[in-house]
Structure 1
Amino acid sequence: MRTMRDWFGETTGGLPRTFWYLWAGSLINRLGSFVLVFLAIYLTQERDFSATQAGLVLGLWGVGGAVGTTAGGTLTDRWGRRPTLLTAHLGAAAMMLALGFARPLWAVAVGAFLLGTFAEAARPAFGAMMVDVVPEKDRLRAFSLNYWAINLGFACAAILAGLAAEVDYLLLFVVDASTTLVTALVIFFKVGETRRATAPGARKGGTAPAGALRTILADRVFLGFVVLNLFSALVFLQHISMLPIAMGDSGLSPATFGSVIALNGVLIVFGQLFVPRLIRGRSRSHVLALSSIVMGVGFGLTAFAGTAWFYGLTVLIWTIGEMLNSPSNATLIAELSPAELRGRYQGTFSLSWQVAGATAPVLGGLVREQSGNTALWLGCAVIGAGLAVAHLVSGPARERRATELRTPAVPVVTLDPPVPEVAESAATAPAEPLPAKTP
């Protein structure tokens, strides 16, 4: 009993209060995340759209997400984390309802685009705020705890959404909008701005320097990691677009899909909190390579699935890969992001997910229609193997860059009279966030 209590204290103790409000917001939001999980089924079974049309709508969701993460990253650095989060959540709640009432294909497509824009604009702000408030030594377990909350909500949402879909698909959109609104209220009342105050004399509008885009584009180590995440996301997001269609072709109901995909969240809920101790001290490149192999195997086996239990087995396998990938990914991005460009770096990384969100359903649908179901899933396995090799090759350069950014600059000693600095560099300034304030 004492061992379990010590483990629980080590896993959850000592984290800032603001983190726990953000954690609660993630849990509430994901408890109602009904729409994206069942959108492909809704479009093909309820609205009688073709698989290609459904892929187009999901692709536009991803395009909107790309726009949202780009804008959200810039606003996070210039406008602030808190106002960006509030605006994104309120806009997403409104567009969720609009999408639920949309009927023509063009209206559904526009609604999906705008919903993706608002929903994903929150991602860079949330990521930057997490890095702001959690000390570096605690980030692995903090990101693992947040991921655990996301998947606890997802597991419950997948089952509830499957039951709600049997009653009325509109209920999916109403509940999703409601939980998004509640999350916005938690942020409004409990979460203060965490961005550092602009230093005296610094450029008005934020702490990020001019030429931020050029800095990111010149960062080959970071962009290489973004590209690898893009290919990983192309595989992973097939569980939202092509997996429900494949299970439908096997004669399985939406409720069965909900139960099968809920296994993903259930396994993470029961296992994710043990992952930080399992991978602590191990090479992140090796962990990421192993996760790519496991995810590839899981999705590859889907080619041979035809029953609910077999689909469930494949979900459990690729979920293990996901559990290994997530905390290593999150901590590595945090360490590769210069403090003064944290929002933009988070936005650029999130952009890889949105590009994948736009292209994964389209590419998956095309491969499935042109080459068949087997080619689609075995292709995922091949991509997973290639990603494993790429992580092993590029890993040392990433760790060197992370070490460089952690190491403070050595001050230069000069005999000349000191000249007052206009502003302290955000890269070497103390990393303490502003205290959380309640409006």
Structure 2
Amino acid sequence: MPRSEPLPRTVRLLLLARVVNQLGAFSLPFLTALICADHDVSLTTAGLVSAAFGLATIPSRLAGGGLADRIGGRTTIVLGLCGCAVAQLAIAASTSLAWTVVAAVLLGLAFELYEPPSQAIIGESVPERQRVRAFSLLSAALAAGGMGAGLLAALLGRWDLRWLFVTDAATCLVCALLVRLALPRDRPAPRPAPDRGDQGERDDRDDRGRSAVRPLRDRALLTVLATGTAYALINQQTVIALPLALARRGLPGADAGLLFTAAAATTVLAQPLARLAWTSRLTTPVALAFAHLLLAAGLVGYALARTLPALLASAAVWSLGDLLIMGRVYALVTDLAPRGGSGRYLAVFGTSWGIAATLAPILGTQLLAHAGTTALWSVMACLCVLLAALHLRLTPRPSGPAGLPLGRTARAGTQGAAARS
């Protein structure tokens, strides 16, 4: 792929809009703190409210995929962003714990609506050879916005935590306006072909480019969902458990912010890595296995490091693996989806983050309490090595436009096609 080949205008505008949205995406980490400070409840109660938000994001993600395929990506994105803005303003204005809980659940129900259509628009707007690069740039755009979000949070959080939610709502509305004005009008999705059995479904996909959209019956997608959920669970530990782990090591918990910034900066600066010739030649299973080994190396660094510079280096190594995973895995899910079904496939895969957001706090705190910091990161590193081996054996290889395998052997491509039938 030529390095100078530009991405479509639609993708570039969507990436810009997501940067704007991410600039305000700093309120959620402070939801527990706001509930404790304003409503004088225990940390356990505040944590349950946050868990309720996390559970609500799972149906939100599924609804976003279904709406994207039925009413269009642009409309769904705008609907989700406006819903988030209303819920965040309700949290900022709530005067009782009950109203805060209702607003937090409503925020969860709207929070993931715009993710599947955003990913589907990117996947469907670029040729297959550009998908990995496009999804890697989405990850970089969110990281770049996150770096600015941290600075805004530091400024506004010293004034009043409620203003974090007001500002987040404002960026949601600005992003919705950009999407509404800049993205092309939605086009109706193709009508699903009638179900004539497995052979008929394969014929529909090959001859007319479409098939019945049944993501939960697609064995290849379910395999990617299983490994993706395990990855998301590990990823969430580096966010949720990291401040607690630093404190147990005698380091300031606030240093986690420096590690987050280092990881985000690495994600942005390392974008050319996704376009190197040798990384482009790697098959998807090999690339994902290599990426998980990088994650394991970073986590081993977390387990052994005792100084801030060593932790920063570990965060950089971790984020390199994360960068390679995000580009490859979303391109893979997009390729697995039949025409008109990208939104629903990406939505089902995206539930991995909701599951991880619910389980990660329990797993991380229990490991820290009963085994310690070194054990926490060591267990996560071992899980990464296991996932690397599973990717080499189980992960399907994308098939090309004509149904021909893009991997090194036709047998692997045939196995992937059989898994999708």
TM range (shorter): 0.7 to 0.9
Contact map agreement 1:61 1:358 (CA 8 A) in 2: no
Alpha-carbon distance between aligned partners in 2 of 1:348 and 1:235, rounded to the nearest angstrom: 19
Alpha-carbon distance between aligned partners in 2 of 1:11 and 1:117, rounded to the nearest angstrom: 39
SS at the partner of 1:407?
coil
Alpha-carbon distance between aligned partners in 1 of 2:157 and 2:309, rounded to the nearest angstrom: 21
Does residue 403 of the first structure (1) align with residue 399 of the second (2)? yes
CA spacing shift, 1:19–1:210, aligned 2, 3 Å? closer
- Alignment of structure 1 residues 32-181 onto 2, 5 Å: 32-39=24-31, 52-53=44-45, 55-102=47-94, 107-181=99-173
Contact map agreement 1:132 1:195 (CA 8 A) in 2: no
Contact map agreement 1:226 1:349 (CA 8 A) in 2: yes
| Residue 91 of structure 1, CA deviation | 0.5
| Residue 276 of structure 1, CA deviation | 2.3
SS at the partner of 1:339?
coil
- Note the aligned Cα RMSD (angstroms): 3.2
Does residue 237 of the first structure (1) align with residue 236 of the second (2)? yes
Contact map agreement 1:234 1:360 (CA 8 A) in 2: yes
Counterpart of 2:224? 225
SS at the partner of 2:113?
helix
Question: What amino acid is aligned across from residue 20 of structure 2 in structure 1?
Answer: I
CA spacing shift, 1:71–1:113, aligned 2, 3 Å? same
| Residue 313 of structure 1, CA deviation | 3.1
Alpha-carbon distance between aligned partners in 2 of 1:80 and 1:125, rounded to the nearest angstrom: 8
| Residue 103 of structure 1, CA deviation | 6.3
| Residue 47 of structure 1, CA deviation | 7.5
Aligned-residue identity in percent: 30
Gaps of 5+ in 2: 195-207, 405-421
CA spacing shift, 1:36–1:13, aligned 2, 3 Å? farther
Question: What amino acid is aligned across from residue 162 of structure 2 in structure 1?
Answer: L
CA spacing shift, 1:77–1:43, aligned 2, 3 Å? same
Question: What amino acid is aligned across from residue 15 of structure 1 in structure 2?
Answer: L
| Residue 365 of structure 1, CA deviation | 2.5
Count of residue correspondences? 390
| Residue 50 of structure 1, CA deviation | 5.8
Does residue 286 of the first structure (1) align with residue 286 of the second (2)? yes
Counterpart of 2:357? 357
| Residue 368 of structure 1, CA deviation | 2.8
Counterpart of 1:418? none
| Post-superposition CA distance 1:89-135 (Å, at most 9, x none) | 00111212223444665554443332222121111111111122222
Counterpart of 1:415? none
Counterpart of 1:17? 9
Counterpart of 2:368? 368
| Residue 41 of structure 1, CA deviation | 6.1
Alpha-carbon distance between aligned partners in 1 of 2:52 and 2:332, rounded to the nearest angstrom: 29
Alpha-carbon distance between aligned partners in 2 of 1:303 and 1:258, rounded to the nearest angstrom: 18
- Alignment of structure 1 residues 202-217 onto 2, 5 Å: 212=213, 215-217=214-216
Contact map agreement 1:81 1:126 (CA 8 A) in 2: yes
Give the TM-score taking structure 2 as reference length: 0.82
Alpha-carbon distance between aligned partners in 1 of 2:44 and 2:372, rounded to the nearest angstrom: 14
CA spacing shift, 1:404–1:288, aligned 2, 3 Å? same
Question: What amino acid is aligned across from residue 236 of structure 2 in structure 1?
Answer: L
SS at the partner of 1:192?
coil
